[in-house]
Amino acid sequence: MFRQVAQRLACTARRSLSTSTLCREGEKGPAEFLKKFTPHVSSTLSPPHFPSEFLPKTVSAEEGAAVPEKLTLNFFLPHETTVKDSKVDLVLLPALTGDFGVMPGHVPTVAQLRPGVVTVHKTLDKEIEKYFVSSGFAFVHADSSTDVCAIEAVKLEDLDPEAVRAGLQEYTAKLGALQAKGDDYEIAAAQIGVEVYSAMSAAVGA
């Protein structure tokens, strides 16, 4: 009996805690969802969870706090987390509008990436890691952290120049052959191939 009461109390405490942390989502957040959801299901069904509950706990930087010395970099792929919470000096990103560098205190930005090289300077001009990304997004947050999300990324030294050259030739030939026929989807696919491979060969050649 007492155990049940304690459990119930703990449960309510948890719920109120989670709603208080999530209140920034306002009237569209999980709390509001549960209000709509609960009348339609049996009362014994426990409420569902939400992805925001499982976010890693981060200490949000206070307003006007000093700009940290290093940038926090996360590098995510759908099938892997390549870099997590790594402290770096500079990241060079290949955005669609042109390359740009991110240092601590950068303006919050959302950038769409093109096929190209992401350069990570762990210490400026000394420890450098280079990744080739196919495409994706980069988010620069106000708290001097940067998330790079790519579909596929490999270390530059893992690319085989021979294979890149062969791939570029294959897709260029394919594009030439297809342009005569005029299937839009196939042409677009071949164009993407040419674009990625030329970016790759430029990266390898450099």
Enumerate residues 144-173 that contact other proteins by CB under 8 A.
Answer: 147, 149, 151
Instruction: Report in angstroms how near the CB of residue 139 gets to other proteins at its nearest.
Output: 5
Member of 1, 3, 5, 56 binding other proteins (CB under 8 A): 56
Scanning 31-39, 117-125, 164-172, 193-201 for contacts with other proteins by CB under 8 A, the matching segment is: 31-39
Q: Does 137 bind other proteins (CB under 8 A)?
A: yes
Nearer to other proteins, 106 or 130 (CB): 106
* CB-CB neighbours of 72 under 10 Å: 19
Angle at 78 between CA 97 and CA 24, to 5 degrees: 80
Q: Does 185 bind other proteins (CB under 8 A)?
A: no
Residue pointed to by tokens 């006007």: 64
Nearer to other proteins, 41 or 173 (CB): 41
Among the listed residues 72, 75, 71, the one whose alpha carbon sits nearest the alpha carbon of residue 152: 75
3-state DSSP assignment of residue 50: coil
Residue pointed to by tokens 């792929």: 77
By DSSP bridging, strand 71-77 and strand 145-150 are: parallel
Member of 18, 19, 33, 154 binding other proteins (CB under 8 A): 33
Among the listed residues 104, 136, 205, the one whose alpha carbon sits nearest the alpha carbon of residue 197: 205
Among the listed residues 196, 197, 201, 176, the one whose alpha carbon sits nearest the alpha carbon of residue 186: 176
Instruction: Report in angstroms how near the CB of residue 8 gets to other proteins at its nearest.
Output: 19
Scanning 6-14, 71-79, 123-131, 162-170 for contacts with other proteins by CB under 8 A, the matching segment is: 71-79
d(CA 45, CA 107): 45
Contact residues: other proteins, CB under 8 A: 22, 24-25, 27-33, 35-42, 45, 48-52, 54-56, 74, 76-81, 84, 95-97, 100, 107-112, 136-137, 139, 141-142, 147, 149, 151
